[in-house]
A and B are shown apart, each in its own frame.
Chain A
């Protein structure tokens, strides 16, 4: 099969379709950076989807639990060996993704005779200095592609979701952050709040809105991304009801807490309660 280029392409294409099909039902995961830290939040599934990787690194993901485990374990192994042989400061998301996870995921994807990895995830990195502007979020996919969101993009929030159309709709929305208006006299209204969220409830509110977008049924009716976004309630109480009803009544949330940063190595990852997020 390998020595026939056409069949190899076909096999890769089939593989992509198979994976997309298998993860289509994957629950959304939102990662968003703000002044208190980086919040990872998603509907609580039967298995955990948010994991601590290293002192300032956390992974939120969707896919097959066994595959998530594999990727998570590879990331933890690589981070700890690096942190031990060099120093915890040398463990960066950029190196982890560029030189370890990305190539490994691509390699696994292209080994067409082995079972594919069902994985899509967000790797969050809290910066050692204290500004939210320096935080990074890496979007990683099963085929080894990655993108990074920093500064305003990280403060706006990042979403991964199993549904291909929904994911595409979100990317489109992010590419055009301002809503078009018919009236030329008024400048286009920004869709997302300006600047990083300064409190945990505000951070959670923004994350809930993105989760609401991912969970809203608009696509079934053929609505555009902008229409779905506009239809998502902005009121937290209403959002809460929407998200909780769509996510079996519970959320999984964790925080890379900026207040836990110390000059040396320090664990910044901690579970976030719905009380402190003002969601309960």
Chain B
């Protein structure tokens, strides 16, 4: 398993510090041949003409079969997702976890091809820890946000083939001094980012949503912000959790690929909350029932 790393010690002089001291986990995966993401250059070579990536069918670069939503509330950020995974018109799985904790301060919600999305989450989680341990300081929030963008770009070949697209949203905060005495950078309160299919990252000032059910949810949130008299960002945590559940229900009403709340088999959406001093918290099913008695 670990033989690829032996040369670094066995030839201590030959292998300069630059080769392995960068703290870059993607680079380590490449060097050891364990990267789950196909090399775009290699794919195009396999396809024949240099630089050409074969496009299988015309890929849609926006909506994917799911709904993940996130928005700011008074004390932080709520990020939630339904549990359904589909393949074409078939419901594959009704207990998919699409809201994934990358580390104590970072949560990623995925929309897109599950195979790629879960690998991205795993790669990201490992790369943050790898950087922190090897460089003895935590990765800055900015670098974490870019790392996900880079992963999406690394996956460009698959995206263009229409088989491996991922359009995630990311909720993250930075608390210096949490990981080590060396904690770098100033504290940054919970912040939302969304990405396009090519890896560009955007800061969301109010809300970020992704997936095929998101247009419906977004419309409702816009309506609430404009006409309800109480902005989502003015709501407290209980109200925010209730609103997130309502938005997911609306999405499930119109989108076949979004699973609603299944009372019979006790399947509830995933809801996570990031608050400034507290880090990340899972909202339990009991709590969901309590804040939204209708469910």
Is there an interface contact between B10 and A108, defined as CB atoms closer than 8 Å? yes
User: In chain B between 137 and 165, which residues have their CB closer than 8 angstroms to a CB of chain A?
Assistant: none
A95-B136 contact in complex given A70-B8, A76-B130, A108-B9, C-beta closer than 8 Å:
no
A residues near B265, Cβ cutoff 8 Å: none
Among the listed B14, B32, B126, B134, which residue makes an inter-chain contact with A73, where contact means beta carbons less than 8 Å apart? B134
Task: Say whether B13 contacts A104, CB under 8 Å.
Answer: no
Q: Which of chain A's residues have a CB closer than 8 A to the CB of B5?
A: 74, 77-78, 81, 100, 104
A267 within 8 A of partner (CB): yes
Which DSSP category, helix, strand, loop or mixed, fits chain B's interface?
helix
Indicate whether A69 reaches chain B with its CB closer than 8 angstroms.
yes
Residues of chain A within 8 A of B205, CB atoms compared: none
Interface presence of B25 (CB below 8 A) = yes
Complex: how many Å from CA A67 to CA B13? 11
A contact residues, total (Cβ < 8 Å): 37
Chain A, residue nearest B20 (CB): A73
B4–A81 touching, CB < 8 Å: yes
Q: Which of B63-80 contact A (CB under 8 A)?
A: none
Given contacts A52-B133, A80-B25, contact A108 B12 (CB under 8 A): yes
| Total residue contacts A-B, CB cutoff 8 A | 95
Indicate if the CB atoms of A100 and B180 lie closer than 8 Å: no
Residue of A whose beta carbon sits closest to that of B181: A271
Kindly list chain A residues whose C-beta atoms are within 8 Å of the C-beta of B130.
76, 80
Give chain B residues whose Cβ lies under 8 Å from the Cβ of A74: 5, 8-9, 20
A80-B28 Cα distance, complex, nearest whole Å: 9
Residues of A within 8 A of B123 (CB): 84
Given contacts A73-B21, A86-B1, A111-B11, 10 further A-B contacts (CB under 8 A): A77-B5, A77-B20, A77-B28, A84-B29, A99-B1, A100-B2, A101-B9, A104-B9, A108-B10, A114-B11
**Could you name 26 residue pairs across A and B whose Cβ atoms are closer than 8 Å?**
A48-B136, A51-B133, A69-B21, A70-B8, A74-B9, A76-B133, A77-B20, A80-B25, A80-B126, A80-B133, A81-B4, A81-B5, A81-B34, A84-B25, A84-B34, A84-B122, A99-B1, A100-B2, A100-B3, A100-B5, A101-B9, A104-B10, A111-B10, A115-B12, A115-B13, A271-B180
